[in-house]
Structure 1
Amino acid sequence: MNPESEELYPIAILIDELRHDDVSLRLNAIKRLNTIALALGHQRTREELIPFLDESIDDEDEVLLTLAGELGEFTEYIGGPQFAHILLQPLENLAAVEETMVRDKAVESLNKICPQLSQAQLEQYYIPLLKRLTLGDWFTSRTSATGLYACGYPLASPASQEDMRKSFGQLCADDTPMVRRAAATHLGAFAKKVGKEHLISDIIPLFNKLAQDEQDSVRLLTVTDLVAIAEELSPEESKAYFLQTLKSMVADKSWRVRYMIADNFVKASPWDSYGLEIAAFLIINEQLSKAVGEEFTREDLVVAFVRLLKDNEAEVRTAASGQVPGFSELIDKDTILNYILPCVRDLVTDTSQHVRAALAMQISGLAPILGKEATTEHLLPLFLQLLKDEFPDVRLNIISKLETVNKVIGIELLSQSLLPAIVELAEDKQWRVRLAIIDYIPLLATQLGVEFFDEKLGALCMSWLGDSVFSIREAATVNLRKLTEVFGVDWAKQTIIPKVLAMGTHPNYLYRMTTIFAITAMAPAVTPEVIRDYILPTVTNLVSDPIPNIRFNVAKSIEALIPVLMQNPDTAPLVDQQLKPALIKLSEDSDNDVRFFSQKALLPVQ
């Protein structure tokens, strides 16, 4: 090939770059394939570029990974779907390489191209490719094959479909565990394509064999297969085919399998309720209860779930703890109190802090299910115990979910039972716990009312402004703004603002800094008159503060105050009368940062 030839120039450059020793050059060449294909045109791309890429497969994994991805989007550059089968050959080679990421990307691209093929193309090119990968000498090609059956099956002829089911069965029985793992990974997707008749006759036997595989790494993958297959069956059929398997999985000798069951027992749905996973085909609901019966649910699924909650491995108990409210929503109240709640009491004092943390995150979800009386009697003592847990994340998790409990039992009862513990946590040595309390205060204030708040929590909110941790002080200033929005400007003028402004003359510069942050944060929530009468005098006084950090934060505060004052005709003149002179003074400051922020603040008013 003559590199001087204008007609051959793009492909010549590509060849040179793909043969270059520098990996980055080869990678860039692959990323420009679409540009080169446009220059070559459809025919030359099919006849020259694709064969060249197929022959140049031996390269660095990073280059191959990029190539595998590019080919999946390449149909338009070779002339459209009628030529899409041309891309199969290089992707077949990529699907057999040693690097897993490259193979997975090649399978992904093949699944993009497959729907573009006609039935004739599928029968002539795709299915032979599938057979070659399935019968490959190396396990790498066979693992890739497992991910290609679901996409091609609906487009194939009945005879080819039968062959595909048999071939997939061979992969499920492969001697290599890696292939069986891949088969288990893709069995659920394949099951959804074969139709109910073949699902029962062909797929369920494959599932049962994989679910009893000697390798736990294979068995644990069948948990999601169980759900996928059961979704295609009626409740009665699911019970008949899978109940015994479910019981075996819950009691599996491998904790990893039991963990997968526990982690997938129920699953939050896109709606504000719980969808179902493992129990999707069995758990009780209004329609399903008639099919399987409450007695069956209690005796089988509840027993299985309780076993997971009492598992001897902490990882399994952690996963099951996160499923408690979701599962409880699907059974009756008496069953919760008699079977689930005793396990929850044990988990509250579990030896693993991770189990307790998972439970603390979810236990409040039981309150709406149990109702006010049962929550007060059974759950509040557990909340108090978790609030006093020595592990910070446990306390954080229970605090973050108290709103759910408040909706059920009311703020009066909640405050009587939990407020003392919350106040104690407000001074916790772990700053993240204190921060969580601050985030919860505005909601608590809304429910408590102004009088109760001022009596119980007002002083606490002010104390956070002097906290040793900056994040706490910052959050405390935002908290004041939210409280002002809750209780109103008049309350803020009487209760908060005087105390905040008094800190502006404190000997410790951190307190003066907090004053600046607080009044800046509160400005959007108060009236321009309050800014004029209360805030501006403090701001202008701090313009001459001896600490540069104070002065440049004053400039930033003024920048935030200007738009608020400009919105009101009565206060707009204050910008030119007070704030602009202050900024001019700061713009001549000896400190670079002070000058920068003051000049920035001056720009809109110059």
Structure 2
Amino acid sequence: MAGAAGPGTGSGAAGGDGDDSLYPIAVLIDELRNEDVQLRLNSIKKLSTIALALGVERTRTELLPFLTDTIYDEDEVLLALAEQLGNFTGLVGGPDFAHCLLTPSGNCHLGHEILAVLQKSCLQPPLESLATVEETVVRDKAVESLRQISQEHTPVALEAHFVPLVKRLASGDWFTSRTSACGLFSVCYPRASNAVKAEIRQHFRSLCSDDTPMVRRAAASKLGEFAKVLELDSVKSEIVPLFTNLASDEQDSVRLLAVEACVSIAQLLSQDDLEFLVMPTLRQAAEDKSWRVRYMVADKFSELQKAVGPKITQNDLIPAFQNLLKDCEAEVRAAAAHKVKELCENLPIEGRETIIMNQVLPYIKELVSDTNQHVKSALASVIMGLSTILGKENTIEHLLPLFLAQLKDECPEVRLNIISNLDCVNEVIGIRQLSQSLLPAIVELAEDAKWRVRLAIIEYMPLLAGQLGVEFFDEKLNSLCMAWLVDHVYAIREAATNNLMKLVQKFGTEWAQNTIVPKVLVMANDPNYLHRMTTLFCINVLSEACGQEITTKQMLPIVLKMAGDQVANVRFNVAKSLQKIGPILDTDALQEEVKPVLQKLGQDEDMDVKYFAQEAISVLALA
């Protein structure tokens, strides 16, 4: 290891005083001074091991001070350090010494040369320093570790050590420390004394009106979390005004985070307080000039609906939702469309059908022909779920025309989303009602130019097969499944092979024997060697589903015949197939038919064929 002291060097690298007890720190110093970032990263990841070797006292007096002074490094290394320190409570002596991770320590008993390297000074402890760095992910990890450590403190230790740290961060000169402080208030507030609680709330109020938008954003993102640990009176008198101010902030990035906090705040208040204190601000957010704020309202709509209750939902949220469904921005309409099913499900059962039919469905009908494909796709992913809510008659009369229109949509994702949720409508009206429009849509998707679209429809084929029944499947879709086996994209051929196995499991071995197996085996004579190999892949998966008799009588002869194929790739796949189906066959077939063929392949001129044949002989114990 370049630059690191080896085990045989003792502590000479550490300071030449012959004290082996300093060796782990010495090695750590050398590794962290190395130019190789990966070496430094690996060293940081070993910190817990090093701490165990040092013991709790030396970890407190040597390792932590050293880390305090080597806090400047690559972000990746600092991230690992922040993560490691969150689990250090036990390594410094347990909860009684958890404060050592939060306060600078001057009790370092190190060799002279180590002290010279460290240039020991009373700096911030590692986690506090990490909570102030510029890189966001490092700060977030440091805050996460600090939150974890806070739980290890007694109430007395919390006020003596953790709360002062939070105050230092909240009062820091750099915005980075103040943003980190926002994530720490909620973990220390519940166990603090009343006097300290008042100070904590004051600091949080200051951060909510900070001059720097990044700090206000951080405060807004933690507003709901902080509200949950406050007394109800404080929520009304302090948190709600903060919410109102943040929801009216000049920066839309702050306003949209205030919407998220609204969910938590609404859960804490009575209906009267909600109507008076929160709803004016929420109505304002739903009509905000920034589409990003309106998008957040749409995205959090189901949570807001549950938080405010049915009465306010009916009076305020339904009209707001209607506006979001016809918003001028496609992103907002798509987010609202995604929430249609959840909105309807969460409505009170009494009166739900009337609300949906009169106040939601007219807007849904407009979205079916929306100009934006993402909006139509979002709606298609949830609209089928309305059939179970509205029942058979409403589904046939009002929803079925929408389903049929979407099955004919020019966008493949829209058609695919409808097909993928057919089980919902099948429960209510049966799939036959859709079959005339369903089949053309499936065929178009099956032959789509984008292979990922073809792959997606293959994955839904077993579901469709179960709903359509074996007769309809054989008549309309069987040929599609076979066509996929010779697709020019390997991923499609592979998926089609697995699809056959699932179909056999659904329709049974007799169906497989009469319908699928003969068509697969015909491909063994295909001029294209890739298609011949697909035959082997199909046999591999079908043998398990079809059982011993069909495998021995129909599939094995074809596999054995293909052992003489001119293409080496086919021959070594024959060896692999024989290894795969061997456990299904009886002993006579293995000894009399499989063994001679594998022995012949084991003498093949191609090295790969020989290898796989010998491996099959070994696995099947045919030597």
TM-score (norm 1): 0.91
Q: Which residue of 1 aligns with 2:474?
A: 454
Residues 266 and 308 in structure 2, CA contact (< 8 A), matched pair in contact too: no
CA distance in 2: counterparts of 1:511 and 1:28, whole angstroms = 48
Verify: 1:86 aligned to 2:112, yes or no.
no
Please say if residues 83 and 145 of structure 2, whose CA atoms lie closer than 8 Å, have aligned partners that are also in contact.
Answer: yes
1:301 matched residue in structure 2: 317
1:281 aligns with 2:307: yes
Moved more, 132-141 or 475-484: 475-484
Alignment of 1:133-148 (within 5 A): 133-148=169-184
Correspondence for 1:187 among 192, 215, 223: 223
2:186–2:225 Cα contact (<8 Å) kept = yes
Q: Closer, same or farther in 2 for the Cα pair 1:506/1:71, shift >3 Å?
A: closer
For residues 28 and 426 of structure 1, the distance between their equivalents in structure 2, rounded to whole angstroms, comes to 49
Partner of 1:499: 519
Match of 1:263 among 285, 293, 299: 299
Q: 2:83 aligns with which of 38, 46, 69?
A: 69
Q: What is the aligned partner in structure 2 of residue 2 from structure 1?
A: 15
For residue 234 of structure 2, the aligned residue among 198, 217, 226 is: 198
Say if 2:556 is the partner of 1:542: no
Identity over aligned pairs, percent: 57
Q: Are residue 18 (structure 1) and residue 54 (structure 2) matched? A: no
Counterpart residue identity of residue 149, structure 2:
I
**How many residue pairs get matched?**
581
Is the deviation greater in 165-174 or in 381-390? 381-390
Deviations 1:425-445 (CA, angstroms, capped at 9, x unpaired): 333333333333333333333
Partner secondary structure for residue 268 of structure 2:
coil
- The alpha-carbon deviation at position 452 of structure 1 amounts to 3.0
Return the letter of the residue paired with 2:530.
L
Amino acid in structure 2 at the alignment position of 1:603: S
> How many Å separate the matches in 1 of 2:489 and 2:45?
48
Are positions 1:381 and 2:401 aligned together? yes
Give yes or no for contact 1:384–1:421 (8 Å, CA) kept in 2.
no
Structure 1 pair 11–423 and aligned structure 2 pair: CA distance change class (3 A): closer
**Hey, what does 1:514 align to over in structure 2?**
534
Question: Equivalences for 1:21-60 in 2 at 5 Å?
Answer: 21-60=35-74
Change in 2 beyond 3 A, CA 1:23/1:443: closer
Which residue number corresponds to residue 273 of structure 1? Answer: none
Q: Is the 8 A contact 1:216 1:256 kept in 2?
A: yes
1:527 alignment partner in structure 2: 547
Per-residue CA deviations over 1:305-339 (Å, capped at 9, x if unaligned) read: 11111111111111111111111223312222222
CA distance in 1, matches of 2:471, 2:142: 66
Q: Deviations over 1:349-395 (max 9, x none)?
A: 22222112212212211121121222222222222222232222222
Which of 143, 156, 167 is the matching residue for 1:131? 167
Counterparts of 1:25 and 1:438, CA distance in 2: 47
Q: Are 1:589 and 2:615 an aligned pair?
A: no
3-state DSSP class of the match of 2:19? coil
Q: Secondary structure at the match of 1:7?
A: helix
Give, in whole Å, the separation in 2 of the partners of 1:28 and 1:509.
49
Match of 1:489 among 494, 509, 513: 509
Structure 2: how far apart are the matches of 1:191 and 1:408? 44
Q: How far apart in 2 are the matches of 1:369 and 1:170?
A: 48
Question: Are the equivalent residues in 2 in contact too, given 1:400–1:436 (CA < 8 A)?
Answer: no
Q: Which residue of 1 aligns with 2:572?
A: 552
Q: Please give the per-residue CA displacement for 1:392-428, whole angstroms capped at 9, x wherever unaligned.
A: 2222222211122211211322324423432443333
SS in 2 for 1:311: coil
| Cα distance, 1:142 vs structure 2 | 1.2
Tell me what 1:343 maps to.
363
Alignment gaps of 5+ in structure 1: 267-276, 285-291, 566-570
Q: Does 1:363 align with 2:377?
A: no
Name which of 551, 554, 562 aligns with 2:582.
562
List alignment gaps of at least 5 residues for structure 2: 1-13, 104-124
**Which AA in structure 1 matches 2:129?**
N
What letter matches 1:281 in structure 2? Answer: A
Using the alignment, how far apart are the partners of 1:503 and 1:39 within structure 2? 65
2:594 is the counterpart of 1:579: yes
Query: Alignment partner of 2:346: what SS?
Result: coil
1:574-600, CA deviations, whole angstroms, 9 ceiling, x for partnerless residues? 011111111111122222222222222
- From the superposition, tell whether residues 415 and 202 of structure 1 become closer, same or farther in structure 2 (CA, over 3 Å): same
* Counterpart position of 1:442: 462
Q: 1:343 to 1:553 in 2, by over 3 A?
A: same
Secondary structure at the aligned position of 1:466 is classed as: coil
Contact in 2 for aligned 1:399/1:436 (Cα 8 Å)? no
1:315 equivalent to 2:328? Answer: no
- Report the CA distance shift for 1:452/1:123 in structure 2 as closer, same or farther (over 3 A): closer
Which segment drifts farther, 305-314 or 129-138? 129-138
1:168 CA displacement: 0.7
CA distance in 1, matches of 2:434, 2:390: 16
Q: What is the SS of the residue equivalent to 2:21? A: coil
Question: Cα deviations across residues 256-281 of structure 1 (Å, max 9, x unaligned)?
Answer: 11111111112xxxxxxxxxx12122
Give a deviation string over 1:452-506, Cα, whole Å, max 9, x none.
Answer: 3332333333333333333333333323322222222222222222222222223
Q: Note the C-alpha offset of 1:36.
A: 2.8
Check the 8 A contact 2:521/2:555 in 1, yes or no. yes
Measure, in 1, the Cα distance between the counterparts of 2:128 and 2:547: 69
Change (3 A) 1:373 1:50: same
1:404 equivalent in alignment to 2:445: no
Q: 2:392 aligns with which of 355, 372, 377?
A: 372
Q: Residues 398 and 151 of structure 1: is their aligned pair in 2 closer, same or farther, counting only changes over 3 Å?
A: same
CA contact (8 A) 1:283 1:301 kept: no
Q: Report matched runs for 1:81-160 at 5 Å.
A: 81-89=95-103, 90=125, 91-160=127-196
Counterpart CA distance in 1 for 2:385 and 2:596 is: 56
* Residue of structure 1 equivalent to 2:4: none
Aligned partner of 1:418 in structure 2 is: 438
The SS at the match of 1:365 is helix
CA distance 1:473–1:22, change in 2 (3 Å)? closer
Alpha-carbon distance in structure 2 between the residues aligned to 1:9 and 1:479: 61
**Alignment root-mean-square deviation, CA:** 2.1
SS in structure 1 opposite 2:151?
A: helix
How far is the alpha carbon of 1:283 from its aligned partner?
Answer: 4.0
Matched to 1:9, the amino acid is Y
Q: Distance in 2 between matches of 1:64 and 1:520?
A: 50
* Partners of 1:34 and 1:74 within 8 A in 2: yes
Tell me the amino acid that sits aligned with residue 446 of structure 2. A
Give the drift of 1:515.
2.1
Any conservation in 1 of the 2:256–2:293 contact (CA below 8 Å)?
yes
TM, length-normalised to structure 2: 0.88
What is the CA-CA distance between 1:25 and the residue it aligns to? 4.0
Query: Cα 1:501–1:238, aligned 2, differ >3 Å: closer, same or farther?
Result: same
Aligned residue number for residue 270 of structure 1: none
2: CA distance between counterparts of 1:7 and 1:546?
70
